[in-house]
Structure 1
Amino acid sequence: MSISIAHLGPSGTYAEAAAVAYANWLIQKKGQQSFLCPYPSIAQTLQAAATGQVDLAVVPVENSLEGSVTMTLDTLWRLDTLQVQQALVLPISHALLSCAGSLEAIETVYSHPQALAQCQEWLDKFLPSVQLVPMNSTTEALGYLETDSTAGAISSLRAAQLYNLPILASPINDYPCNHTRFWVLSLQPSPGGDRTSLAFSVPANVPGALAKPLQVFAERNINLSRIESRPTKRSLGEYLFFIDLEAEANEPLVKSALTELADHAETLKIFGCYSILNIDS
């Protein structure tokens, strides 16, 4: 029986590339067949997995240039049911696609906000006067290009091949070492691994409210590879904290740290314990 994998669509997105890479890994390592299911937004991708419409969801969680993907974090906190099965790290190389005859002819550039931000210095240098239009994905606007010769889109080389679109410039990301970490999530229990991800809120915005939860890891020499704050959306100045641990959740020291953390937190959510798979291309 094939596994269904949700991802941000349409075809040609980096999320689809990550989903394809994971599907290939499933075949090689487990002999498991799968098929892809594109969704129009990250939130809908996660919702599909949370409600059982699909078996897995592949979503971006962090980029090496622009940091965390806030839509992913906010939706995971809200859904409260999905567990991380695997992390995938994918190299990202952006290209400017357009039917324009030259850069000078471009008046508007479309793409996902993360892609626009990852190419901001290049855009300021070569297209300083263009209008930047954020979209739900890096491929959503590609249909505009054939009918508007003044439009461009930041997308992938794979998307250019899929949609048979000209490439005006590549690569255009501001830094060559550009990687995005994706999470593979499902309703199944997390399989275990050397990374643990969690989030918590604190009871009140008072001195030491964050220091005490973090101290439980420092006292046990548990390294935090990432910490990110997000607003609770209840009141200005109230935050949630997302943390990645370089540790296995079932280790005795980690288990005791999480037990103590729960005493300091208003709400604690464990998103899973998993391993990281690096994708070469």
Structure 2
Amino acid sequence: MSELISSESIAYLGPTGTYTESAALACAQWLSQTRGRTLPILPYPSIAQAIRAVAKQEAQFAVVPVENSTEGSVRTTLDTVWQLEALQIQQALVLPISHALLSRASSLEAIETVYSHPQALAQCQGWLETFLPGVPLIPTNSTTEALQHVDDNPTIGAVSSQRAAQLYNLPIVAHPINDLPDNCTRFWVISLEPAITGKHTSLAFSLPANVPGSLVKTLEVLAKRNINLSRVESRPTKRAVGDYLFFVDLEADLQSEAVQSALPELKSCTETLKILGSYNIQTVIDGQLKPE
């Protein structure tokens, strides 16, 4: 993390060159366009620390990955957002992800170990099994952190971005290597500021008892009002085996009549209900924001 801690900043998973940094730069662009605010971006060593920076008011915003089209939800983001109070999703950003294999090896066959963030390794699993079968895959805190190993040993490779290769002056051995051509990651822009209007709304809740039909009863509150769900995700409460909490994304504005009428009923059939915010979604193409 930068030695300079400022509440007027955007926290993100660093160091420089990560995909999250690209999303953080897009967030800065969004804030400039929509709120007339110019904020610096500050790297943090983990997703959880970036989120906690907002909760502790060390940063005003945090940009964190929440879901990848290949590997699904980012568990650390969901768990940390649930654990902390008053966090609100201000905006969602979708960033196309195109992985590259970086190395100073003389050839692909000379690579003996590959480092990267677990999500990046998983998104390239098929390619790695095909072209580097049997090569150990070592997880790191970020795709950029993996690059520190490349200069140490010419038999080491790292899965990272083309931008990182340019920033750190490292050769690209292969690109793209992600298994799906339309690989993309959705990021949340999180703050303590209220987020009460937008085309999408996210909720999280736990249930009062692990009994048959308790989840169905909760979801029926939304179904009978014709509120469409774009995602339902379960996570362990970490209180007991088989005890879960749920994250739900609604294709509806929090201020809509349907959602407002559903909230009292949802509160009555859940143990804890958290409204995580109402927001819009924008795609980032070549560093520029595109409307939803």
TM-score range normalised by the length of the shorter chain = over 0.9
Q: In 2, Cα distance between the equivalents of 1:263 and 1:32?
A: 40
Q: Residue 12 of structure 1 aligns with which residue?
A: 17
The equivalences for 1:159-170 within 5 A come to 159-170=164-175
Q: Which moved further from structure 2: 24-33 or 134-143? A: 24-33
Compute the displacement of 1:30 (Å).
3.6
Residue 123 of structure 1 aligns to a residue in which SS? helix
- Structure 2: unaligned runs, 5 residues or longer: 1-5, 287-292
Q: Residue 3 of structure 2 aligns with which residue?
A: none
Q: Residue 65 of structure 2 aligns with which residue?
A: 60
Partner deviation per Cα, 1:74-127 (whole Å, 9 max, x = no partner): 000001221011110111000000111111111111111110110000001000
In the alignment, does 2:139 pair up with 1:134?
yes
Choose the corresponding residue for 1:229, options 234, 242, 247.
234
Q: Is the 8 A contact 2:7 2:58 kept in 1?
A: no
Q: Residue 245 of structure 2 aligns with which residue?
A: 240
Compute the displacement of 1:181 (Å).
0.5
Compute the displacement of 1:2 (Å).
9.3
Q: RMSD of the alignment, in Å?
A: 1.3
Q: In 2, Cα distance between the equivalents of 1:88 and 1:73?
A: 16
The equivalences for 1:84-163 within 5 A come to 84-163=89-168
Q: Residue 215 of structure 1 aligns with which residue?
A: 220
TM-score w.r.t. structure 1 length?
A: 0.98
Q: In 2, Cα distance between the equivalents of 1:130 and 1:217?
A: 48
Residue 264 of structure 2 aligns to a residue in which SS? helix
Partner deviation per Cα, 1:240-278 (whole Å, 9 max, x = no partner): 110000000111111111211111101111100011111
Residue 211 of structure 2 aligns to a residue in which SS? coil
Choose the corresponding residue for 1:183, options 188, 191, 195.
188
Residue 188 of structure 2 aligns to a residue in which SS? strand
Q: In 2, Cα distance between the equivalents of 1:160 and 1:208?
A: 51
Aligned positions, number: 281
Q: Is the 8 A contact 1:3 1:33 kept in 2?
A: no
Choose the corresponding residue for 1:195, options 196, 200, 205.
200
Q: In 2, Cα distance between the equivalents of 1:231 and 1:104?
A: 41
TM-score w.r.t. structure 2 length?
A: 0.94
Q: Residue 204 of structure 1 aligns with which residue?
A: 209
Partner deviation per Cα, 1:118-156 (whole Å, 9 max, x = no partner): 000000100011100111111112111111111111000
Q: Is the 8 A contact 1:227 1:241 kept in 2?
A: yes
Q: Residue 79 of structure 1 aligns with which residue?
A: 84
Q: In 2, Cα distance between the equivalents of 1:6 and 1:154?
A: 23
Partner deviation per Cα, 1:10-59 (whole Å, 9 max, x = no partner): 00011100001111232334432110110000000000011100110000
Residue 146 of structure 1 aligns to a residue in which SS? coil
For 2:49, the aligned partner's letter is Q
Q: In 2, Cα distance between the equivalents of 1:197 and 1:30?
A: 22
Q: Residue 50 of structure 1 aligns with which residue?
A: 55
Q: In 2, Cα distance between the equivalents of 1:274 and 1:3?
A: 21
